[in-house]
Amino acid sequence: MQFHSIDTLFKGAIFYYQLEDESDWAWLSPWKGSQVEGFIPRSSIQDLSDLDSDSLRGLIMGILDRQRALADSLNFTLKGIDSLNSELIAEVLKQNTVRKYNPILQLIPDYFCTSKDLQLIDKLIATIWANRESVNEEPLYSLGACFICQPELLMKSLDKITNTEQKETILKQIEWAFLNHFEVDESGSSDNPNFKALMDRLNADRKQSAY
């Protein structure tokens, strides 16, 4: 049986896959923000869960840097009159978000909760702020999960922020993700025993930042 190539994966691409028993091929889920799917040689896959800590950190940091740089560029061009350039940057940012930023966000909480890497969480917060006009909720879920497992460390990172608007925005975003995580009811209550303590911690920092 003959098969033909339907698309190209470049080194460093991030995608979802499913192994096909003992086959030398893996099934590639829809990727690149499209409905393209098919088979890829198993030998071409490097599972992110198998990366050592330093390699994973380098990957995460690089993707966050790229996302922030693109968002900063878009914000800068939107202040001018170069609408064509803005559209081009916006498209590159969109593709980077779908192909790399969103997938890597799912790995950040586990990494941060184990490594307690403040530099990484500082970079995540800065990236979220640069992308603050986006409706993408994935970064907020990731940040909220980091707060749940390491609230004191996350607040230590927030304490470095001197921009009042930025800090309040990030606090609101953490609260939104936090409430969604615990499935809070209409009265603002949750059955989870950790909910109240974490909510009190979040409110205490918000109250302090208001002074």
The predicted model gives 30-52 an average pLDDT of 75
Query: DSSP state, 158?
Result: H
Say if strands 25-31 and 17-19 run parallel, antiparallel, or are unpaired: antiparallel
What pLDDT was estimated at residue 81? 58
Nearest-CA neighbor of 19 among 29, 34, 7? 29
Within a 10 A sphere around the Cβ of 87, how many other Cβ atoms? 12
Spatial CA neighbour of 192 closest among 182, 177, 202: 182
Query: What is the C-alpha separation between 108 and 114, in angstroms, rounded?
Result: 10
Quote the pLDDT of residue 209: 62
Neighbours of 55 (CB within 10 A): 12
pLDDT at residue 205, rounded to an integer: 74
The predicted model scores a pTM of: 0.81
Q: Is 14 left (phi over 0), alpha (psi -120 to 50) or beta?
A: beta
93/131 Cα distance (integer angstroms): 10
pLDDT (tens digit per residue) in 44-66: 888 888 889 999 999 999 999 99
By three-state DSSP, how is residue 31 classified? Answer: strand
Sketch the domain layout of the chain as residue ranges: 1-45, 56-209
Residue 111 has pLDDT above 90, yes or no: yes
- CA-to-CA distance for 174 and 76, rounded, in angstroms? 26
Angle at 31 between CA 26 and CA 36, to 5 degrees: 80
- CA 95 to CA 100: how far, in whole Å? 8
| The predicted structure's pLDDT at residue 21 | 74
* Of 20-29, 135-144, 160-169, the least confident: 20-29
pLDDT of residue 13: 76
Mean pLDDT of 155-163: 91
Q: How far apart are CA 58 and CA 41, in angstroms?
A: 25
* 11 or 44, which is more confident: 44
The top-scoring range by mean pLDDT among 42-51, 76-85, 131-140 is: 131-140
pLDDT at 15 over 80: no
Helix axes 53-78, 108-115, angle to 10 degrees: 120
pLDDT at 17: 80
Question: Rounded CA gap, 67 and 45, in Å?
Answer: 24
